[in-house]
Amino acid sequence: MKTFDISWRRYLLPNIHNEGWKFVGVFAAVSAVLAMIWSPLGWLGLILTVWCFYFFRDPERIVPEIENAVVSPADGIVQMIADVNGPEELGLEKQKFTRVSIFMSVFNVHVNRAPTEGKITKAVYVPGKFLNATLDKASKDNERQLLAMKTKTGQDIAFVQIAGLVARRIVCDAAAGQEYKTGERFGMIRFGSRLDVYLPLGTKPQVALGQTMVAGETIIANLGSEAPEVKGVVR
C-alpha cells in the first residue's frame, strides 16, 4: 500500500527550488551585514530571508492517476476561460483552443508542472513587456515562454509561461523533443505571474472562474471525457 509523508517536517522544512538558493544566500548575507549595522535591521533582513525561502518552496504533489487528465500547471486562481486561436509563435494560429488562464500571486508556489503526458514539439521564448498579467493582452504583449505538446493520444495542446508586472524572470527547463509525465516539473516564474493552458476546442473545462488551483493536482479537463463543463461561483 502506498503512503504519503504528512510529517511536520514537510510543512516546516519544505523542499526549495534550485533557483532559490542563491536568493536565500544573498538575503542571508545582507541580513548579517544589516545586523552588524543595527540589530533591528538584521531582524528585518531575517524576516525577508525566511520569506524568500518560503517563496521558492517546491512541495511534492499528489498527481491524479487518471487517463487523459489535464492538471493545472500552476498554483493560483483561474482568471480567464475563453475560446481563442492558438499562439502564432507555435504555428497554431489557425487552430481554435479553449484557453484557461491561471494567475499566480507572490504568495503562491511558483514551480510549474506539465499539464499532461506528452512530448514537447516546439519551445519558443519571446521577449516583451511586463504588463499586469491579469490583462488579456498580456498573452500577446508580455515576455513569455511558449511550449507546444503532442499528447500521448495525438492531440495538440500548448501552455505558456507569462511574465507580469513584478515577475521578471521565466525559468524553463523544457525543450523540443523532451517527454513529460503529467505533473512533472518543467520550470518556474519568479515573483508571480500567469500560466495559460490551450486545450483542444470542444474540451470542456472542469474548473470555474475564481477557482483556486493546485499545480499537479487540480484537474482542469479530461481530453477523452464527455464530462459536462463546470460552472460555478466563488463564495
Distance separating alpha carbons of residues 170 and 94, to the nearest angstrom: 27
- Mean residue pLDDT of the chain comes to 85
Stated pTM of the model: 0.82
What is the pLDDT averaged over residues 149-178?
A: 88
Number of Cα atoms under 13 Å in the Cβ half of residue 52: 20
The class (CATH top level) of 69-222 is mainly beta
Q: Which of these is catalytic: 31, 72, 101, 193?
A: 193
Cβ contact 157:151 at 8 Å: yes
pLDDT at 20: 65
What is the pLDDT averaged over residues 22-31?
A: 80
Distance separating alpha carbons of residues 165 and 68, to the nearest angstrom: 34
Q: Which three cell numbers stand for residue 192?
A: 508571480
Cβ contact 114:127 at 8 Å: no
Distance separating alpha carbons of residues 42 and 32, to the nearest angstrom: 6
Q: Where do you find CATH 2.70.70 in the chain?
A: 69-222
pLDDT at 219: 95
Report the candidate in 171, 165, 160, 149 with the shortest Cα–Cα distance to residue 223: 149
pLDDT at 28: 79
Distance separating alpha carbons of residues 124 and 122, to the nearest angstrom: 7
Evaluate if residue 98 carries a pLDDT over 80: yes
pLDDT at 1: 46
Any idea which residue has 463543463 for its cell? 229
> Is 225 assigned a catalytic role?
no
Least confident of 40-44, 189-193, 194-198, 213-217: 189-193
Please tell me what DSSP assigns to residue 181.
-
Evaluate if residue 225 carries a pLDDT over 80: no
